[in-house]
Structure 1
Amino acid sequence: MIAATTPLSIKTPKPVSSETSPSTPLSYHLIKERYQAAGQGHLLTYYDDLSEADQSALLHQLHHLNVERVNRIHQKATTCPSPMLTNQSALLAPLPEECFDSILEASPDKVNEWQTIGLKQIAQNKVGVILLAGGQGTRLGSTAPKGCYDIQLPSTKCLFQIQAERIFKLQALAREQEGVTEEVIIPWYVMTSGPTRLATVKFFEEHNYFGLSQDNVVFFEQGTLPCLTFDGRIMMESKSQIAVAPDGNGGVYAALRGTGVLANMAERKIEYLHAYCVDNCLVRVADPVFIGYCVSKNADCGAKVVRKKSPDEPVGVVCLRNATFNVVEYSEIDDEVANRINPRNGQLAFGAGNIANHFYTVDFLNKVESFEGDLEYHIARKKIKSLDISTGEVVTPKQVNGMKLEMFVFDVFPFTQRMAVFEVDRREEFSPLKNAPGTGQDCPETSRRDILQQHVRFIQNAGGKVVVGEDDKQLEGAPTLEISPLVTYSGEGLSHLVSGKSIKTPLLINSLEDLEKALF
């Protein structure tokens, strides 16, 4: 096993030439010739002005950058017709009924069947988790990785801790269902970005991996791509440094392969993966119901979705485009299509809102390399601080001056052979943290509210009553009731204690003993 205190590192690509030291004069001439041939010779404009150390650093970057690939990506992104840039409503079709199910309409017996299948896979150590955690909390007013953010729950738990404890509890539930005595392990593969890597690892170390074994928390880093001018010239951050940006959450597929994570999964005999974004405070990590549903469908790829609130809700929709699975942006769907109703259930025909919550088989992840060249790169036009090659000065632009190229995690959907789409209850499973405190939508206050309200429902669904105490401030209108994930993963295991009884808020429950003491 690979210990988390020695995180997996990105493997260095094979150099273009056979030179082992990019600081030699021969390497300089070869690199200069190569970059001039690629139309990117400007990157060496200030080479002679640099110190030996900076010259070596620049040559090292250029030596290992596949500049021809960068040119191809730019060419494809800017010249190939993209369905993201034109209205393709006439080519859209709703999801086939055979690949879609909803937990909102499924019987309790069917849900229990899916959960049983999922817990069995977990108990057999066949399930791993991929956490997309490369983002910083900049929009939240924090420079720390977003997973470190404290949404001001009574427990002060951050997003990382909440999710880690859900993994811990789920391992116990799987062990209990299957009656196994050996250890049940759900490996947690945490994808960081360059700016968040060291801070994330340090945070986990300082918090003792939130009770998980450090051997089963594996960090890896997403890739980067150079920032480009609109005519495809690579931008520079300084005279000795290329300007780069993360390649989007869709870069996870290349990163899994390039950092050795897929090999680690093979070593552990993992067969199924659950992938999600760190900013969803309600995420059911390694959700056994979702895992069991996808396994029962023999799916190689799956997506959780939530029902759109209205036809004009600005969210991407999982549907068919040109007879393949895709996520179609709201702006691409005209009013007639957006309002179309499915006569079978009276719901929106195009109502499967994407929440970046996916299932994969390891076999599918291993196949991504074979079609990676066909994946779409999306252009993000940005204000990019960069070196003005003509003056040698670093300029902070007031207007958009360049582009960052990125891939989205759902870009692999058109290549799946057996897709499964699973609709879940938004109240129970989706509350993203994206906006600054006080904005009133997808912010720390709404995240905290949604968790507290869910925990009230846990007690009520178990047959208990929640009494709001006089000293409960009820922030955001939610009774202050927090139940640790170590007590219950999704509300299970409470009814034998709380049925027919009451509890009074404010209350923080860290154990079944805490709950039992609070009952009256």
Structure 2
Amino acid sequence: MDIDFLKSQLEDHDQSQLLWYWESLDKDSQEKLYNELKHLEFSNINGYFKQAMEDLKHASDKIDNLLQPLPTEVCGSVTGSSPEELKEYNRIGLEEVGNNRVAVLLLAGGQGTRLGVPYPKGMYNVGLPSKKTLYQLQAERLLKLERLAKQQTGKHCTIPWYIMTSEHTKQATDDYFKQHNYFGLEKENIILFEQGLLPCIGFDGKIILANKDKVALAPDGNGGLYRALRKWNILEDMEKRGVTNIHVYCVDNILVKMADPVFIGFCRTKKAECGAKAVEKTVPTEAVGVVCKVEGHYQVVEYSEITVETAELRRDNGQLTFNAGNICNHYFTLDFLKHVSQVEQENQLKHHVAKKKIPFVGDDQQIVKPTEPNGIKMEKFVFDVFHFAKNFAVWEVLREDEFAPLKNADTAAKDTPTTCREALLSLHHRYMLDAGSKFIHSDGSSLSDIPCAKKAKESGDCQKSENDDQFNKCEVSPLVSYAGEGLEDLLSGKKLVPPVQIVMGPSDITPSIIQNVTANGTTN
């Protein structure tokens, strides 16, 4: 260890406090801290901090005058497309999958802190009848999509699944997939890699020590993807596999359509190098970023960056002018990813700043947990590369079909395990109805196709039945149906007593219908 050189470096960059406790450390701890510090790029970190503090000064500035609505020609939607168009987009997408030209890239570096669990979000079970976790649902959707593509093209195909983890989630994620035998997928087609970390910095510009021998570090945001792609040679792996289309998404959306062939087909039709899925923003004050143009470049503008007056602007048809709500669900060509992952382009992405309460080592060498923000964490966002795109596309989907994020514990008002569970079960309930099934009471009498809303029950406007609490517990295995297709032969004309599960294992040939399951797991 060249400790004198390190001390000199720290002095040059005004970070000498990182070695304040050096003499009190044993040799192992000294080596640990030394190895951590020698890999930090102090000049860059100080530069990031300077820019971050400048951005904080202007955090309340509004950019209303710079905003432009999305051009009509780059936009499409599920509701605005004909059945024939949707079928053609799906065909194009399945052709790409069937010819091994599609990969999915999962952003899964975050911990389940807000959920209150000590493990990665992907391992979370929201309480579905099947008890499946987010990772299992996503894996089975991939497996089903590979089978659908093979049916269309006649070719065996695979969809490589690249999972960007962090220091905090990589090992647990790796162990989880091994324990579950990769949920029927091939081990070599699940590739884990780590995003980077950045030091947490106090408002005085000093890097914070989380412990005497450890710097306080935080993941560098989902926009750290581009640096991680370089570091771990992921783009080279994609190229070797013949991948040209990449679907990027966040782990917490329970309704995500993995490598959605309709979305891919739409982007291919538009010759887009970069695309975004969006949901319609109907409430001006909804805390969600919008996809739009800023000074001629595509961008996601956070709700806090515009005034209420601009957020409330409406078109002649009554829709909000800026209504393309970002859901972190994107399409990239490999060539575009190669371009934006180069150092020159990646360095242009600014760091977004969050004030945080960051534990630190106090003067008495004990860990202090502050009650007020005492520093910042810096991160980049995955969608900040939109401004590099010349050919862009936005595909609007129905929120109730494709977007139900898991952010918070059930003590919160939204984005909870309960809201995610209800969203998925409601979607699958509609799948079953669309396939021609009918729901009945256990005595054979008919159930309404529309369950009573909770408020209606409470007000007495709707008569509560013995099955109301179970009515919406309808779950379809992704191995049976990717997006509601192929259920007619199984369900048309069938009368079902809820709760209902349509189940299938990775090696099963045919699905099974389980209905009227009681709380103890028996069938009435």
TM-score normalised by L of structure 2: 0.89
Matched, 1:493 2:486: yes
Identical positions, percent? 45
Separation in structure 1 between the aligned mates of residue 366 and residue 434 of structure 2, nearest angstrom: 63
2:413 and 2:42 map into 1 onto residues whose CA distance is 44
1:99-178 pair list within 5 angstroms: 99-178=74-153
Superposed displacement of residue 438, structure 1? 4.8
Tell me, yes or no, if the aligned pair for 2:293 and 2:299 is still in contact at 8 Å: yes
> What's the counterpart of residue 460 of structure 2?
none
Asked if residue 509 in structure 1 is aligned to residue 498 in structure 2, the reply is no
Equivalent in the alignment of 1:187:
160
Change (3 A) 1:329 1:28: same
> What is the aligned partner in structure 2 of residue 379 from structure 1?
353
Aligned in 2, Cα 1:469/1:99: closer, same or farther, shift over 3 Å? Answer: farther
How far has the Cα of 1:77 moved from its partner?
1.7
Shift of 1:463: 2.8
TM superposition shift of 1:341: 2.0
Q: Residue 193 of structure 1 contacts residue 222 of structure 1 at CA under 8 Å; is this kept in 2? A: yes
**For residues 451-500 of structure 1, what are the alpha-carbon distances to aligned partners after superposition, in whole Å with 9 as ceiling and x for unaligned?**
1111111122223323354797554x752211100000001111233334
1:283-335 deviation per Cα after TM superposition (whole angstroms, max 9, x unaligned): 00110001111111111111100011322222111111222111112222223
Between the aligned partners of 1:415 and 1:198, the Cα distance in structure 2 is 34
Q: Which digits, 9 at most, give the CA deviation of each residue in 1:416-463, with x for residues without a partner?
A: 221111100111100111121254421111111111111111122223
* Cα gap change, 1:394 to 1:81, in 2 (>3 Å): closer
Q: Distance in 1 between matches of 2:240 and 2:426?
A: 41
Q: Report whether the alignment pairs 1:68 with 2:40.
A: no
- Which of 224, 232, 241 is equivalent to 1:259? 232
Judged with a 3 Å threshold, the aligned counterparts in structure 2 of structure 1 residues 139 and 458 are, in CA distance, closer, same or farther, namely same
Question: Whole-Å Cα distance in 2 between the matches of residues 438 and 502 of structure 1?
Answer: 37
Write the distance in 2 (CA, Å) between the matches of 1:464 and 1:207.
33
Q: Is the 8 A contact 1:459 1:494 kept in 2?
A: yes
Please tell me whether residue 29 in structure 1 is matched to residue 9 in structure 2.
no
Confirm or deny: 8 A CA contact 2:441 2:467 kept in the other structure.
no
Unmatched 5+ stretches in structure 1: 1-22
Q: Which amino acid aligns with 2:512?
A: D
Q: Distance in 1 between matches of 2:91 and 2:419?
A: 32
Deviation digits for residues 158-215 of structure 1, max 9, x if unmatched?
11000100000000000101122xx210011111121111111111111111111111
Of the candidates 324, 337, 349, which is equivalent to residue 365 of structure 1?
Answer: 337
Q: Retained in 2: the 8 A contact 1:132–1:249?
A: yes
Matches within 5 A, 1:37-56: 37-56=12-31
Among candidates 399, 418, 425, match of residue 372 of structure 2: 399
The alpha-carbon distance between structure 1 residues 450 and 435, as it changes in their structure 2 partners (threshold 3 A), is: same
Q: How far is the alpha carbon of 1:151 from its aligned partner? A: 1.0
Match of 1:7 in 2: none
Paired letter, 1:166: R
Partner of 1:283: helix, strand, or coil?
A: coil
Which is worse superposed, 450-459 or 75-84?
75-84
The counterpart of 1:458, out of the listed 423, 431, 440, is: 431
For 1:367, the aligned partner's letter is H
**Take 2:303 and 2:17, find their aligned partners in 1: how far apart are those partners?**
40
Letter of the 1:35 partner, please give it. L
SS at match of 1:139: coil
Counterpart check, 1:352 vs 2:346: no
Q: Which residue, out of 265, 269, 289, partners 2:242?
A: 269
Residues 140, 119 of structure 1: alpha-carbon distance in 2 compared, 3 angstrom cutoff: same
Q: Aligned residue for 1:290?
A: 263
State the Cα distance separating 1:83 from its structure 2 match. Answer: 7.4
Read off the aligned partner of 2:332 and give its amino acid letter.
Y
Aligned AA for 1:100? C
Q: Contact 2:500 / 2:514 at 8 angstroms: preserved in 1?
A: no
In the TM superposition, residue 146 of structure 1 has moved relative to its aligned partner by: 0.8
Displacement of 1:404 in angstroms is: 0.7
**Normalised TM-score (structure 1):** 0.90
Q: Give the counterpart letter for 2:230 in structure 1.
A: R
CA distance in 1, matches of 2:205, 2:441: 61
Is contact 1:132-1:277 (8 Å) kept? yes
Superposition deviation, residue 513 in structure 1:
4.0
1:326 to 2:299 alignment: yes
Q: Is the 8 A contact 2:223 2:383 kept in 1?
A: yes
| 1:268 Cα deviation from its structure 2 partner | 1.1
C-alpha distance in 1 between matches for 2:182 and 2:429? 28
Q: CA deviation at 1:81?
A: 8.3
Q: Which residue identity does 2:373 align to in structure 1?
A: V
Moved more, 238-247 or 75-84: 75-84
Contact kept, 8 Å, 1:137 with 1:144, in 2: the verdict is yes
User: 2:123·2:134 contact (CA, 8 Å) conserved in 1?
Assistant: yes
1:272 alignment partner AA: N
Contact 2:210–2:360 (CA under 8 A) maintained in structure 1: yes
The structure-2 alpha-carbon separation of the partners of 1:247 and 1:214, relative to structure 1 and needing over 3 Å to count, comes to: same
The answer for the alignment partner of 1:12 in structure 2 is: none
Q: What is the count of residue pairs matched by the alignment?
A: 488
Q: Which residues of structure 2 form unaligned runs of 5+?
A: 444-464, 505-509, 517-524
1:391 Cα deviation after fit: 4.7
- Matched ranges for 1:192-231 at <5 A: 192-231=165-204
Cα distance in structure 2, aligned partners of 1:415 and 1:244: 29
Return the alpha-carbon distance in structure 2 between the equivalents of residues 376 and 141 of structure 1: 30
Q: CA deviation at 1:80?
A: 5.3
Describe the shift of the 1:188–1:257 C-alpha distance in structure 2 as closer, same or farther (beyond 3 A): same
